[in-house]
Structure 1
Amino acid sequence: MDKNKIVFFGTHSYDRHAFSDLNASKGYDFELIYHRSFLNEKNADEIHGAKAVCIFVNDRADRTVLTKLKENGVELLALRCAGFNNVDLQAAKDLGIRVVRVPAYSPHAIAEHVVALILTLNRKTHRAYTRTRDGNFALHGLMGFDLYGKTAGVIGTGKIARVLIGILKGFGLNILAYDIFEDKEYEKAAGIKYVSLDELYAKSDIISLNCPLTPENKYLINKDSIAKMKDGVMLINTGRGPLINTEALVEGLKNGKIGAAGLDVYEEESQYFFQDKSDNIIADDKLGRLLSFNNVLLTSHQAFFTKEAMHNIVDTTLSNAKAYFEGQELVNEVKAK
């Protein structure tokens, strides 16, 4: 195969090392060009004659950006992630740009991060770590609860959620689930129960969001849904930031309705996540407020970040590009409905 160019946006050192290493070791032989900045309408012209562009979760691929890419000869948009809510699929279809993604890289990575957030928030190990390093060995404020016998509500029952459910059942939790597409065979085999959202809210001690972001479920967690939850509920989000209305979350934390929140995503994360902002003032008041709560654990969209997941992301992304350039079937293509 003659060398074909792929231009990457929103990259970091670990992306560049992982893609360059596998590109060489597996003989893909692409010419890879990396941009640090996120894709947007200002830099959409910087594609160096490439037919393929690769983006991640915080790159922007709306109609304006896609039009510029098309004008510069781009034919393939390769997402190195599972979600595609940042891509205007209808615009891509209209412009003749094919879109591919990585549908499953490691459900274990995400599920295990959910459990890490739950355990850390419950037993407050993050606070204990800081205290003991300062010589404070007091236990006040560190009391948790037994997970055994509690009820976890899992919203979405895809691959990640099913791994998560298996882990949580190992802790002895009862599982309530919600999905717009109920899988009755899985329900019976897994020993879970599909319920309505209202019932899930009312009965769950822990709620985990493991669903994709769609126009229909933006702000799924809002003032009204929070009001239906148990007092002191723990809320975990490793899906997408806009699944939660941040203002409603802050209010729920302030009044004690929400006992703890573990967030690997944030609705305005593109201005902060994956970047070192330690020398700057956080100008986002909602983000700053979240960080002020000692019962909020915020991680920087790192749930996917394991060696195994990165390998699978890189391999699938390059395989998708190879299939396109060789005229093969695009098994991971996503299209407008």
Structure 2
Amino acid sequence: MNASFASALRAASDVASTQHYPHGALYVVATPIGNLADISLRALHVLQLVDCVACEDTRHTQGLLRSYGIEKGGSQLLAVHQHNEHEGAQAVLAHLQQGRRVAYVSDAGTPGISDPGTRLAAAVHAAAMRVVAVPGVSSVTAALSVAGAIEAHGAGTGFVFAGFLPIKSGERSAAVEQLSRESRCVVLLEAPHRIADLAQALAVLGQRRVTLARELTKQFESVTSQPADQLPPWLAADSNRSRGEFVVILHPASVEKDVDLPAVLLQKLLPVLPLKTAVRITADITGASRNALYDQALALRRDADKI
């Protein structure tokens, strides 16, 4: 055990043991994404308390637990990862049906966001048993909290989590084209060996700001914001900038207040698309009324025919 966590274990027992932890329940536990000190006291207590721990990688999780002074035997660690999530869920259900408490952890962060865990939680719900959240670190919320990207009001309010984009270049470009029509903040994830390809695909977004959050909570953490078309040269200027795991945040698309966006879109789309299709796409992007857009499109077309 890392001696620094001895007092944390005692504190976890003092502050969290008074709560009720039902038997026959699955505890979805968030774990650190890099800095071991980011574990919560409640998570430490639950990981000590449960009868077994389901996890992506049993060796990784056993090492993590031992860092905190928590010992679980090999039979108490269940492998549940993306390649066996259905079978693993059945093994977890068998434990729960016997009244045991089971924790689920991913290799890092909050399970079920981009890591396995969704199918397991769904299977436990389907069996009419309880799923308990033990919240904590998430790379998604950590990056959003420092990016300054989410608008408080207006069309850009909130964010969309898109995760990893397709690996194939054509599919990735199509996904970026679709995201370009999203006015809200968009959160992506990417691995170091593909970050340059993603940056190249995002460059078509021009001056739209993009935040790259790399190695969050770790020693070489870095957060930078650049216009999308500047990302490829910025990454190429220093090979260290492409190392580590990335959260990539597309800031909300800026729209000038004095621009009639529906009219601009219709003017661009009507020459190349059927009228109804142009109206539908414009309505999807702007949120404007389809009936009003249809009338506007008819007027634009009539004006064009007079020229």
TM-score by length of 2: 0.34
TM-score by length of 1: 0.32
Where is the helix percentage greater, Structure 1 or Structure 2? 2
Q: Which is greater in Rg? A: 2
